Structure 1
């Protein structure tokens, strides 16, 4: 680009003015654009300087002449311009089309430019002169030249929007400021040009770098080619063969090196992680992207085993060492992430990240050290949390809820509240643990691989956590059980323990858990307290029995009280048995039956069979020696067992029907009663026979042939041998039987019934015994009379006087109906 000086725009005719001589400033003239269509213009009216270049030479030594010549030229220029303004546009038809869309010729008419610039200022006129010279001297016939000029002008126009910030007015001013602006414009343009050159050179930098990198190889190839081609002494065929082989050998080596390079790159990609992945392991949070890197590390670890098949296993050892360090870092980070998540989840946050938590836990199960440590940490924290919550319910300082300890006056409610509190804690903890640690329906593939450690993890954790409640719960319930004396309350506590034990088991608390074991222990303690209660009751009964009056032969007071307590307890126990159905576990049913048998044996069988028998024997020590004492003994025994049977009979289809042992206990009581009734019947029959005088003859006839087996007349023949016995003589019989029979028989029925009804508590048993005794007496009297008539056929009248009651009369007197 050509940079122009101020002198370029000078209006002087002398071209030899030096650059260091500044021209004198020219007074700026104001021109008005005049149109010939409106008014005529004279030369004097427009005092413009002439911009036409004069051919006359200016003399620097004659300034006055120079000033006069300039004024003359200006006048000439104005005259010419006024003349040109009067011409029409048709007289100056364009000879060619310029790229600016204006009419121009090979030598553009300067007068037209002047006419178009009539509205310009002085500085614009100076610039228009230079532009006119450029356009007049520029070849516009060539398309490339026209395009180049157009682009240059567009460039100048676009420079207004660039960082150069051109000030056109200052650039074209003829004063000193304009000179400085044009010099600065030169510097700015050179700076911009240098910047463009630097940009172009930077684009060539990669190409130069690559050329330099390949230059050594190219020089080697050139040296080899120069050493081969110019040597005319080598045979051309041998040279070609030799070098072809060398080329093939080198090419084969090159292929091997390429293959090794590809293999090493593949191994690198397969057995290493890049810096980004390492940064993810070290610094990024545990998320899906983190586990993608973890999966890659696990894949590398699985594939690293093939490196040990190499002759040198150092690479595999080094890789595994580094992988183990990376794995430790990953496990430690996951361990910390799980602890953070557990804390935040406990506060109600991060509930949407449960799948990521389970995935992290499943991965951590590969490292049993961190895995077990995390489970211990969870167990410790959760155990402390639920224990504090449980103990807070016994704190009297809590204001927002009623403490459980305030219900201690009601043992059943207190124990129920304690167990209900424990169950609520277990239920809440089961929901918490099941939400986080249940992998039953997990879609995580890692959970399937570590099924041994993850399946049932929620149940395992739940059992470990609730262990902390075992001792606290046991202490508070055991205090109530051990100080409670009522068997009914203790049994209700047993029912609560059984109920909540079943509820705990349904919440997946194992039977071996200390919490459930302690409930079983408390069940045993309460059961022992029940048995102990009845044992104490029997001991107190024994002490009162020694000082009690037993002359009425009724059941003793202690027995009535004891039976009432037993019946009350069995009624409560019967209600509990109605809740046991076939759906329960067989083992639980067997255990319940064993407990029932133990209770029946200790509170029913032993007191009523052993203890009562000892009390009766101590009350009637001479019962075996004296029949009257024996009668009283049997009377009291009948009354006792009748009372026991009557009160326990209502449980025959419930409690005593559950097991064979319980049935046998009730059957033994019934047998004791039956035996006592039989003994009483035999004893009362014996007394009747003795009071009527028929006892000796009853024994005598039964010795010959049993009375009960006499059926027809032939049976009476068995008694003919009695004729030789002196006791069977009619006078002897009269003296032994007649008076006693006639004296006692009319009052026998009244005497027996009054004694039995007065002493026996059961009228049914008394009536049964009375009927039996008189039936025996009537049957013997009839048989005895027939025998006497049969063996003494000639003395039937005498027999009738001795046994003066007919059979019907005798039956009527003793109250026997046919």
Structure 2
């Protein structure tokens, strides 16, 4: 077949299909790309969000325009960045220019400084040498001044330290301190090869120091003569002088002894004036109210004297605290230093107590010594009061008052002070007088121990003794006592003022017949118990009294119980059945007992019926003299209960015997019921005795 021009070759028929497949491939590629995109990708989500913000629709025009817009935005951003870099480059050029000028200035200044250093090096070296020489001269000058200040006293300082015509003032103390320092510093000079200067200075300084301390010692003695401790503003100079004088323990102790003697005389005169209203020389003091005239009884008299002594001791201590403790431990330090410096004491320290100085202990001892004169007068007056007192209660109150002030002074001073020992001796003497008066009183009423009251009440001598003892116990209760065991401390008082009267009452009870003896003794013990019970420090005795009361109560219970058994006519029956139990062997023995036979059992039943109507009243009547009606009732009820228990046993045994007999004999004529002969029941007995 021939072909015409323009006609396609035969193989060209396949070309359209091939072109169409190539045209389809880009689209499928895009679709594949879109489908393969992950919506979880961050950049993809951000791109979609950006498209949403622009509010574009998905059309071919929009897609073309969007690409153009994006390209334009990228070009504009790049242009802005280029402009910014241009400005940065301009700033860097300016900074480079400035750095160049700075380098030029630095090089110029470095050149000028080098030239100036070369020009001034020689004058600087000369100035440095001169400064070194100046420092050496100043050091030598300072050393000379220091030597003069530390190892030499001026003429004015020497005069202020040694001359008695010069006052003891700040200059004196300053010079004394300087002299002590010079003496200590001389040890440095003695360390050099040439010791002549050190020895000369030390010898001169030691002489000046000794003269200074002697001057201070005499001045302190003069001040002590005129020192008024009642003045709340005690001069600081005397305190300062004592602190300094403590460095000479011997002189310091002599001053204390002198001061104690002077204060002892002053306080003795003051106490005498307080007692009599006039001084020992006879000059009256209109402002004083004499204790001997204003105190109306012995207790008030002794109390006022002790109160004055306490007030004086407190005032003395407060005043002396300002002298000896107001400066802390300066005195203690001074005395310790003085002991170390007094070489002559070293030989005696092996046999003496070299304990550290105790300012409080020394103060207490000094106050005690100051009060020694007044304490002697106090002891004489109180001893006279103790010896002339004839009242037992007053004697104990006096001893208790002395005990209170002894404890007070023990806390104020110390338990070893002579004032406390004096009060302790006076307390012991007052207690001896109390015991003597108590024994005399017991001896005087021995005759009353033989007469028992008809109504069996507590005797008068016991009531009087308990009244006195109550007053004593109230006194002890309101007093201050530091005893760890108040009962143990008060025991001697009970032995003297209580036990003899209880013993007398017990002996009186022994002479009576029962039950009067137990009733009388219980009345006495209850009365005594009621007096002792309110006080905590007598509980041991209260417990002992309660034990005695319980013992006597049991005796009365037994007496009432025996009364019920005897008067009811059942004593023999109860006694015969009491050993038997509920066993068949014991039950068989019941019918053979003599007390269970018909006549005897009928008689016992009749006696019981006659007894029961008035049994309880008759039993109570026996205890009518017992002052505690409740106790009498309890005793009677307990005895009745014991009797009822015995009756229940009798009733049970008779019933068991009837049951056994009924089993053996049946209802024959030989059988006779024991309960018919003895019809009373335990319930009836309890009702009649309740």
Query: Is the shorter-chain TM-score for this pair beyond 0.5, marking a shared fold?
Result: yes
Structure 1 residue 667 corresponds to structure 2 residue 543 = yes
Provide the C-alpha distance between the structure 1 equivalents of 2:311 and 2:680, rounded to a whole number of angstroms: 87
The structure-2 alpha-carbon separation of the partners of 1:569 and 1:266, relative to structure 1 and needing over 3 Å to count, comes to closer
Which of 529, 535, 538 aligns to 1:645? It is 529
Counterpart of 1:596 in structure 2 is 490
Tell me the residue number matched to 1:366: 247
Which runs of no fewer than 5 residues in structure 2 stay unpaired? 1-138, 279-283, 339-355, 663-669
Contact 1:685 1:776 in 2 (8 A): yes
Query: Mean Cα displacement is larger for which, 496-505 or 375-384?
Result: 496-505
CA distance in 2, matches of 1:536, 1:380: 45
Q: 1:568 aligns with which of 465, 471, 478?
A: 471
Q: 1:279 aligns with which of 141, 159, 169?
A: 159
Q: 1:803 aligns with which of 678, 683, 690?
A: 678
Residue number in structure 1 paired with 2:600: 733
**Is the contact made by 1:716 and 1:790 (CA closer than 8 Å) also made in structure 2?**
no
Between the aligned partners of 1:677 and 1:798, the Cα distance in structure 2 is: 41
| TM-score where L is the length of structure 1 | 0.56
Q: In 2, distance between residues paired with 1:558 and 1:536?
A: 14
Q: Where do 1:300-699 residues align within 5 Å?
A: 300-309=182-191, 319-346=201-228, 354-395=235-276, 398=284, 400=286, 401-407=288-294, 409-440=296-327, 453=357, 455-456=359-360, 458-501=363-406, 503-504=408-409, 508-546=412-450, 548-576=451-479, 588-590=482-484, 592-600=486-494, 602-604=496-498, 607-608=501-502, 610-617=503-510, 619-620=511-512, 629-649=513-533, 651=534, 654-656=535-537, 662-699=538-575
Cα distance change on mapping 1:425 and 1:261 into 2, 3 Å:
closer
Given that 2:578 and 2:649 are in contact with CA atoms closer than 8 Å, whether structure 1 keeps it comes out as no
Matches within 5 A, 1:35-46: none
For 1:376 and 1:780, how far apart are their aligned partners in 2? 89
Shift, 1:669, TM fit: 0.9
C-alpha contact (below 8 Å) 1:469/1:515 kept by paired residues: no
In 2, the alpha carbon distance for the partners of 1:718 and 1:768 equals: 38
**How do residues 64-463 of structure 1 correspond to structure 2 at under 5 angstroms?**
270-283=150-163, 284-309=166-191, 319-346=201-228, 354-395=235-276, 398=284, 400=286, 401-407=288-294, 409-440=296-327, 453=357, 455-456=359-360, 458-463=363-368
State the partner residue of 2:651.
785
**Shift of residue 358, structure 1, vs aligned partner:** 2.1
Between 281-290 and 325-334, report the one with greater CA deviation.
281-290
Per-residue CA shift, 1:538-578, capped at 9, x if unaligned?
333433112x14554333332232223223332343344xx
The answer to whether the Cα contact below 8 Å between 2:243 and 2:330 also exists between their aligned partners in 1 is no
Q: Give yes or no for contact 1:778–1:810 (8 Å, CA) kept in 2.
A: yes
d(CA) in 2 for partners of 1:320, 1:477: 59
- SS of 1:693's partner is coil
Q: How far did residue 317 of structure 1 move?
A: 5.2
1:597 Cα offset (Å): 3.9
CA contact (8 A) 2:442 2:500 kept: no
Distance in 2 separating the partners of 1:672 and 1:263? 97
> Residue deviations 1:71-109, cap 9 Å, x none?
xxxxxxxxxxxxxxxxxxxxxxxxxxxxxxxxxxxxxxx
What is the match of residue 104 of structure 1? Answer: none
Instruction: Work out the CA distance in 2 between the residues paired with 1:355 and 1:399.
Output: 32
Q: Which has the higher contact order (CA 8 A, sep 6+)?
A: 2
Q: CA deviation at 1:410?
A: 0.7
Quote how far apart the aligned CAs of 1:302 are.
0.6
Secondary structure of the residue that 2:514 maps to in structure 1?
A: helix
Answer yes or no: is the 8 Å Cα contact 2:594–2:600 preserved in 1.
yes
User: Under a length normalisation based on structure 2, what TM-score does the superposition of the two structures give?
Assistant: 0.66
CA distance in 2: counterparts of 1:791 and 1:473, whole angstroms: 90
Report the Cα distance in structure 1 between the residues aligned to 2:154 and 2:682, rounded to whole angstroms.
128
Structure 2 vs 1, CA of residues 311 and 727 (structure 1 numbering), >3 Å: closer, same or farther? farther
Task: State which structure, 1 or 2, has the greater radius of gyration over its C-alpha atoms.
Answer: 1
User: Does the Cα contact within 8 Å between 1:785 and 1:799 map onto a contact in 2?
Assistant: no
How many matched pairs?
517
- Residue in 1 that maps onto 2:75: none
Aligned to 1:701: 577
After superposition, the C-alpha distances for 1:602-628 in whole angstroms (9 at most, x for unaligned) are 5445653x55434433x24xxxxxxxx
**Aligned residue in 2 for 1:722:** 589
Shift of 1:299: 1.8
